[in-house]
Structure formats: C-alpha cells, structure tokens
A and B are shown apart, each in its own frame.
Chain A
C-alpha cells in the first residue's frame, strides 16, 4: 500500500505515456495518432507535476504565516507544466489543422495510404 502511495503518480504518468506510445505504434489513422500524442503529452505533464508533489503539502507561499517551508510543494514543476500544456495545445492545434488539409488532399487519414513522399 505504501508502495502504491509513493509511486501511484509515476505509475499513472508512465502508464499514460505507454498507452500513448501504444497508440502511436499500432493505430494508422492520423487523428488517432494525434490523440496518442496528446496522451503521451498528458502523461509527461503528470510526470512533471508529480516531481514536485508532496503528500499533504501546502502552497509555496512564504509570506503567509503558518505554512511550513518543509511541507511546501515545489512550485517550479507547476510553472513548467503550464508551459508544457501551452506547447502541447499549440502542437495539437497545428496537428489538427494539418490533418484537415491532409484530408482535403487525400480524402483519407489512413497513414498507410498517404505514402507519396518516400524513398
């Protein structure tokens, strides 16, 4: 139980990453691939967050009295994750817009059939 308590976030994070990778490896539809990519991204974000997570931690505000610096959560990962989410959104938007144009050109999103650029 203790194990689960300590590592549940890691398991969750890596679980999500592997699910995303699995999708990337097995699915052929571009939309699904983008979803997979998004899941990997979520997993990574979770991983970053849990790097600074403390059980029963408090907000990292030094000016408020009564909060113990020892139990404060590391704020940096949260800042990182915000950035990372923004980047993720940008990539997602980019990917989806490309997918739309791709569909207009090929009439399909099956990546097995979109193989004009090769060799």
Chain B
C-alpha cells in the first residue's frame, strides 16, 4: 500500500527542487507539476476504495496520537485530495503553454506549494498542523496572485494578504485557547473532550475559527479579497484559487464545526450565512462587465450554496454540499481555463470584448457553455445531480422556514443563470470578429478543457461514481464518535 504521506511529500519536495533545477534544466521545469500532480491523482484514486472501507491513520512522529502528529486519511480527506490533485493536474497541463512571461520557475514552485498546503489541510489530523498547511496555502496564494508584478495583481495581493493574515491570526488565537483548555492539539483527542459548546470558553474559539476560516473560505462579509484576487491573477491561478483554495477553507470550517465541536446548534446560522453569501455573490456578479470578476463573484455565490448545504446538516445535505463542491471545482476551473485563452486572444477582460468568440474559438466556447450550464444546474451536466441532492435534502427537513430558504437559494440560481446566459449570448450571437488574431486555443489548453468537459458530462449522466464516496464522507463528518475512535485507536 502506498503511504498517503507521499501525497504531501511529493509536491513539497518537487516545489523545492524546481528552483534548484532552474540553473540548468529550465526547459523541463514546467513538466514537473503535471507529473507530480498526476502521481498524486493516481495515489489518491488508488487509495480511495480502501479508505472508504477503513480510514488510514499515519503517525508522523512515530508515536501515536494524542502526542504525535497524525494524518487521518478518511473518505472526506481522500475525496478532497482526489479533487485537488485532479484539478491541479488539469490546470498544470493547461499552464504548460499558458505561463510564458515572468518568473516561470517561481510560478511552478509556488503552485506546487499551494497544492501541498491544500492536500496537507485535508489529510492532517492535527489542528496546529492544519494551521501550518493553511499558512502554506495562504502565503503561496498571496504570492501567486501578485506574481506577475502587474498593478492589479500587486494591489489585490496586498489586500488579500492583510485580510488573510488577520484571519489566520484569529485561527491561531482560537488554537491557543483550545490548547490552553485541553492541552492537546490532536483533533480527535480534542473532540473527545468537548462535550458541549454551551460554555463560554468553547464559544470564543468557535467564533474565532468561523471568522478566521471564513476569510479564506470567502463567506460574506469576509470575502472582500476574493473578487480582486481571482480577477487579477492569471487564469490558471484563478482556476486553482476558485476551484480549490476557497473550498479548503470550507473543509477546515466543517472539520472544526462538525468534528471538533460537534456544534449542531449553529447549523441554522451556517445556513443563513450561506444564503446571504449566495445572494450577495450572485447579485454582485449580475451587473459585472468584467468576465473574470463575474466568475469570481459567482464563486462566492457557489460557496454560499455549499455552506448552505452543509448547514442543512443531514447526511443527504452534506453529501449534496460535497457534491456541489466537486461540481464547482470542475465547472469553475473549466470556466476560468476557457476564459483564460479567450481573454488572451481578445486582449481584454470585458465581456463585450469576447463577442463573436464562438466562431473563432469554437471548442473553447462550447466548453465555456457547458461549464456555465453545469454551474447553473442544468441537466445532463454535473451541476444537476448536486443541485438535485441539495434541494432534496432541504425539502426532506419538512419545514416551512427551510422552504423559504430554498426559494431564496433558487432565486440566486436564477440570477446566476441570467448573467451566464448573457455571456453565452455575447460569445455566440453578438458582434462579428474581423481580426484574425483570435484563433482556437493551443492543444495544451484544449486537452485539459476536454478532460474537464468529459468529466462534467460523464458524472452528470452517471452520478453514481461519486455517491459512495460522498455518502461515506458525509458520514465521516456527521459521525464524530466514529472519527474519534478511529483516530485514537
């Protein structure tokens, strides 16, 4: 059996090898990320069937928890790890030709670091370790946002940095408080000692966690950095930030709320938070004329939907939320990747500049359309089963208030549909492009796009491939006792 720690080690070591290789082997540097992420993908997929049956616990320091740091590779972790390595792999293929200007090696190194952080967060069983990986993720994403050195990127990165660091400080305070209370950093151990959240001492850490992780996971009103950062970064980075980074925040949030605190009494609040995030995100996206900013706001909206689904708090609801996470990871990275070359060819991020692209870049345009359809939740694309599950889970609660919430969520979806359809119309049915500069994207960009499209359609038609892992992931989140037992075995 492959040791799951390789999932973290491989990208981490590769990230540090890349700058060294920069001295002689510049040409092949860019092939390392696809290789590493491909390796990660294979490892994750090969681990998945085993993990669904029994989670794998790896002791890092050689001694068992609660004293040593451990990795807890459960279904949830492996689901996230699969999606991270999949999206990471696809985006790195895309980057082969796309990233040309600027510090190429640094880009690749930072990219791998970001994915290291993300993988580490989802696999670790130790709260401080989670924080460390979280910081790796954050710092590398600050750097990636600003790495081109352009005006917009630098500005966004600085703003992102201030807000993100404030958020991580809050998390650190919460960790300190929890450590002071329980004297342990292992999540399972911590969870086993928390009986209820009603005491004030537990309340503060929880609030600090929500706020701190809310910044990275872009919950309203903590998401002010997101539209700036996602829109000014290069498209590959936007794809990875939107597809992976913010979801990792959600993962951390869910771990804390469900596993450590078992705080089921704040779920309704979480739902409300998700709803507000969704509505604000969709409304803000509605009147955007900058395509990447629009996609960024749409990410906020989708995060709201995921948080909303998590807030339903039932097995089915959380499965739906995780499904929506997968949907969004695939669809939004597809959208960012397709717009990447469209913007590159058009020379502007304005939606009006993309008019008539349907003729010049037919495959890219079709892929964009499919991504948008999927995000809106139209069958037969992947967005439909996830929306299906969320709606079902909310209605299964049989409560009037929940139906009102659901109606608002679906209203948000309608707005989302409106602006995506506007872009689709612009691409296909507006304007004529006379200039010959716009041509179809290169093969290295089309292959990842086609892989994503096939995945989106395939899973959309046959969602069963995901249901087993989703169900056991949701069970892992809901079953605290099981988690504690497994981790402290």
A–B contact via C-beta, under 8 angstroms: yes
**Which residues on A are within 8 Å of B, measured CB to CB?**
17, 24, 30, 33-34, 37, 40-41, 44, 47-48, 51, 74, 76-77, 80, 83-84, 87, 90-91, 94-95, 98-99, 101-102, 105-106, 111, 114, 116-119
B162 shortest CB reach to chain A, Å: 6
Cβ of B287 to closest chain A Cβ, rounded Å: 9
Closest Cβ of chain A to B139, distance in Å, is 6
Asked whether, in the complex, the Cβ of B155 is within 8 Å of the Cβ of A90, the reply is: no
**Given A40-B169, A91-B135: 15 more A-B contacts, CB < 8 Å:** A24-B166, A37-B166, A48-B179, A51-B180, A80-B185, A90-B139, A91-B139, A95-B165, A98-B157, A105-B151, A105-B154, A111-B159, A114-B158, A116-B151, A117-B152
What's the minimum C-beta distance from A113 to chain B, rounded to whole angstroms? 11
Which residues of B sit under 8 angstroms from A74, Cβ to Cβ? 183
- Within the assembled complex, what's the spacing in Å between the Cα atoms of A93 and B409? 42
Inter-chain CA distance A12–B211, complex, in Å, is: 23
Interface of chain B: mostly helix, strand, loop or mixed:
helix
Known: A47-B173, A48-B172, A84-B172. A116 touches B155 (CB 8 A): yes
A-B residue pairs, 10 tightest by C-beta: A117-B228, A51-B180, A105-B151, A48-B176, A98-B158, A101-B154, A47-B176, A87-B135, A44-B172, A40-B169
Most buried by A among B172, B175, B228, B231: B172
Contact of B165 among A37, A51, A99, A102 (CB under 8 A): A37
- The answer to whether A102 touches B139, judged by C-beta atoms less than 8 angstroms apart, is no
B236 close to chain A: CB less than 8 A: no
26 A–B contact pairs at CB < 8 A?
A30-B158, A30-B162, A34-B162, A41-B165, A44-B169, A47-B173, A47-B177, A48-B172, A48-B176, A76-B179, A87-B132, A87-B139, A90-B135, A91-B139, A91-B161, A95-B161, A98-B142, A98-B154, A101-B154, A102-B155, A102-B158, A105-B154, A111-B159, A114-B158, A116-B155, A118-B228
Asked if B217 is at the interface of the complex by the 8 Å CB criterion, the answer is: no
Minimum CB distance partner of B143 in chain A: A94
The residue in B132, B158, B173, B175 that gathers the most chain A C-beta atoms within 10 A of its C-beta is: B158
Is B185 a contact partner of A117 (Cβ separation < 8 A)?
no
Decide if A94 touches B139 in the complex (CB within 8 Å).
Answer: yes
Report the interface size class on chain B: 35 or more
B residues less than 8 Å from A40 (CB atoms): 166, 169
| Residue with the greatest number of chain B CB neighbours at <10 A, chosen from A34, A74, A95 | A95
User: What is the CA–CA distance of A74 and B184 in the complex, to the nearest angstrom?
Assistant: 11
**Contact, CB under 8 Å: A98 / B146:** yes
Chain B residues within 8 Å of A34, by CB: 162
Q: Which of B156, B161, B162, B176 has the most CB of A within 10 A?
A: B176
CA distance A89 to B158 in the complex (A): 16
- CB of B162 within 8 A of CB of A37, answer yes
A117 and B156 in contact, given A37-B166, A101-B149 (Cβ under 8 angstroms) = yes
CA A30 to CA B159, docked complex, whole Å = 9
Please, how many angstroms separate the alpha-carbon atoms of A41 and B176 in the complex? 12
Q: Is B128 part of the contact surface with A, judged by Cβ < 8 Å?
A: yes
Does B319 interact with chain A (Cβ within 8 Å)? no
Which residue of the partner chain B has the closest CB to A93?
B139
A18–B226 CA distance with the chains assembled, in angstroms: 26
Q: Is B298 an interface residue (CB 8 A)?
A: no
Distance between A14 CB and nearest chain B CB, rounded to angstroms: 9
